[in-house]
């Protein structure tokens, strides 16, 4: 597939980069990325991945756009209120870049559907807001040998890490098990500064693009944290020994996917 003149112009700032080039841009156009959650993290990630010309973008979310989402979920606009988030996200992505094919999945991720959702994709972005989903996505990606980006945001803080099979620890290596429901606050309970989704979600898109074009070093084996009040970044080296992990270790005890209980306050919309 050769680029049209219009595409050469659209992607010119990418193509001129030696780490991307026409070759990398072609890889992007052939890549398939799945974004789970069209919210604070998924919204900016989806915008950048669509703009970057990622050929196929899947987006999973069961919710409709709510007025309280618009403070940070920049892919949705005021007239989108009430619309499924996946539909609103698809419309915005297609408006940014008609080269992109957007697949929508208007559903929650569950132990029943997650493996099927991720199976056709090259890279997964976890933009979910709750620990049951985060552990489920991690375990599914480990079992299906899919690379993924974990991220979380709360108040003025954010974190992310990248898992690539065989190249370092998974989310469960670090965090073991979900905290009991309501033990650790979520965004709805604790609040989150809107631009944090932009900061961390954009970095998830960055990791996806780097993975696809094969540029630089990924956040495998590291947890990157950001404190916006102190304006401090901290890159924490994670213990490299994954052998004892319950899911990605040498003798996994988790061999089936688990639906953990959701925090009460997040069950109701």
Partner 1 sequence: MKITVAGKIKEYDDGITVAKLVELENVETPEYVTVTVNDEFVESHDFANTTIKDGDTVEFLYFMGGGQA
Interface residue list for partner 1 (CB under 8 A): 37-42, 61, 63, 69, 126-131, 133-134, 151-154, 157-159, 174-176, 179, 183-188, 190, 192, 197, 200-201, 223, 234, 236-241, 266, 269
- The CA distance from 45 to 247, in Å, is 27
Residues paired with 233 in a beta bridge: 226
Cβ proximity to partner 1, 99 vs 126, nearer residue: 126
* Contacts for 21 with CB less than 8 Å, ≥ 6 apart: 15
Geometric angle at alpha carbon 162, from 161 and 166, rounded to 5°: 130
Cβ proximity to partner 1, 95 vs 183, nearer residue: 183
Least distance between partner 1 and beta carbon 124 (Å): 14
Least distance between partner 1 and beta carbon 36 (Å): 8
Q: Does 173 bind Zn ion (CB under 5 A)?
A: yes
- The CA distance from 70 to 155, in Å, is 16
Least distance between partner 1 and beta carbon 211 (Å): 19
Least distance between partner 1 and beta carbon 209 (Å): 19
Q: Which partner, partner 1, Zn ion, none, binds residue 245 by CB below 5 to 8 Å per kind?
A: Zn ion
Are the C-beta atoms of residues 149 and 159 closer than 8 Å to each other? no
Strand spans (E) along the chain = 32-36, 56-60, 101-105, 123-126, 148-154, 157-163, 222-227, 232-237
Cβ proximity to partner 1, 126 vs 139, nearer residue: 126
- The CA distance from 122 to 142, in Å, is 13
Cβ proximity to partner 1, 34 vs 213, nearer residue: 34
**Where in 35-94 is the site for Zn ion (CB under 5 A)?**
none
Q: Does 161 bind Zn ion (CB under 5 A)?
A: no
For tokens 């932009």, the residue is: 198
Q: Which partner, Zn ion, partner 1, none, binds residue 248 by CB below 5 to 8 Å per kind?
A: Zn ion
Least distance between partner 1 and beta carbon 10 (Å): 29
Geometric angle at alpha carbon 156, from 135 and 108, rounded to 5°: 30
Which DSSP letter does residue 80 get?
Answer: G
For Zn ion, which residue of 164, 245, 257, 263 counts as binding (CB under 5 A)? 245
Handedness of CA 249, 135, 225, 199 (dihedral sign): positive
Strands 148-154 vs 222-227: parallel, antiparallel or unpaired: unpaired
Q: Which partner, Zn ion, partner 1, none, binds residue 151 by CB below 5 to 8 Å per kind?
A: partner 1
Least distance between Zn ion and beta carbon 176 (Å): 9
Nearest to 28 by CA among 10, 4, 54: 54
For Zn ion, which residue of 199, 208, 248, 257 counts as binding (CB under 5 A)? 248
Q: Which partner, Zn ion, partner 1, none, binds residue 100 by CB below 5 to 8 Å per kind?
A: none
Q: Which partner, Zn ion, partner 1, none, binds residue 42 by CB below 5 to 8 Å per kind?
A: partner 1
Q: Where along the sequence are the contacts to Zn ion (CB under 5 A)? A: 170, 172-173, 245, 248
């Amino acid at each position: 597939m050769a680029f049209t003149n219009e595409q050469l112009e659209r992607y010119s700032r990418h193509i001129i980069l030696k780490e991307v080039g026409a070759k990398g841009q072609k890889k992007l156009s052939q890549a398939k990325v799945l974004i789970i959650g069209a919210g604070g993290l998924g919204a900016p990630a989806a915008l950048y991945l669509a703009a970057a010309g990622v050929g196929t973008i899947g987006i999973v979310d069961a919710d409709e756009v709510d007025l309280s989402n618009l403070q940070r979920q920049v892919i949705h606009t005021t007239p989108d209120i009430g619309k499924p988030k996946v539909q609103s996200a698809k419309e915005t992505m297609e408006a940014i870049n008609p080269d992109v094919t957007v697949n929508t999945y208007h559903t929650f991720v569950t132990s029943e559907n997650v493996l099927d959702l991720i199976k056709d994709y090259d890279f997964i972005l976890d933009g979910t807001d709750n620990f049951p989903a985060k552990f489920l996505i991690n375990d599914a990606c480990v079992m299906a040998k899919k690379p993924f980006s974990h991220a979380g945001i709360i108040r003025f803080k954010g974190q992310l890490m990248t898992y690539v099979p065989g190249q370092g620890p998974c989310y469960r290596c670090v965090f073991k098990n979900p905290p009991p429901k309501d033990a650790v606050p979520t965004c709805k309970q604790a609040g989150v500064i809107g631009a944090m989704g932009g900061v961390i979600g954009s970095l998830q898109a960055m990791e996806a693009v780097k993975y696809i074009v094969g540029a630089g070093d990924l956040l495998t084996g590291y947890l990157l944290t950001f404190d916006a009040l102190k304006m401090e970044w901290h890159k924490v080296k994670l213990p490299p020994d994954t052998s004892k992990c319950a899911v990605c270790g040498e003798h996994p005890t988790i061999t089936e996917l688990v639906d953990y209980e959701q925090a009460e306050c997040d069950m109701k919309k």
